[in-house]
């Protein structure tokens, strides 16, 4: 009787692990955003994405304050 209970427990654990594995295969990773150009602040030298930078006179800055200070 103990062998039967043991076999049922092993079968249930294998079934559970197999279901988890199949479910993980279905869940694909979300698409990764395209890489963005990095620019260097003309005032302090920090690198940041172009979309987060402030542009003045063909220079890029990390903030409005650094754009004002550099001019």
To 5 degrees, how large is the angle CA 25–CA 26–CA 32? 90
Count, in order, helices (H) and strands (E) of the chain: 2, 4
**Residue that is written with structure tokens 């409005």 in the block:** 64
What is the value of pTM for the model shown? 0.52
The answer to whether the beta carbons of residues 46 and 39 sit under 8 Å apart is no
Task: Please report, for the chain, the start and end positions of each structural domain, with discontinuous segments joined by +.
Answer: 2-28+36-70
Over range 29-54, report the average pLDDT. Answer: 90
Six-digit token pair at 25? Answer: 């295969």
Please determine, for residue 42, whether its predicted confidence score (pLDDT) is greater than 70.
Answer: yes
| Cα 70 from Cα 4, distance rounded (Å) | 80
pLDDT at 23: 84
pLDDT at 24: 82
């Amino acid at each position: 009787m103990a062998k039967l209970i043991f076999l049922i427990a092993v079968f249930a654990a294998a079934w559970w692990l197999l279901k988890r594995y199949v479910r993980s295969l279905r869940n694909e990773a979300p698409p990764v955003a395209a890489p963005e150009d990095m620019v260097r602040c003309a005032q302090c030298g920090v690198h940041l994405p172009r979309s987060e930078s402030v542009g003045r006179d063909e220079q890029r800055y990390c903030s409005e304050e650094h754009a004002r200070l550099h001019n």
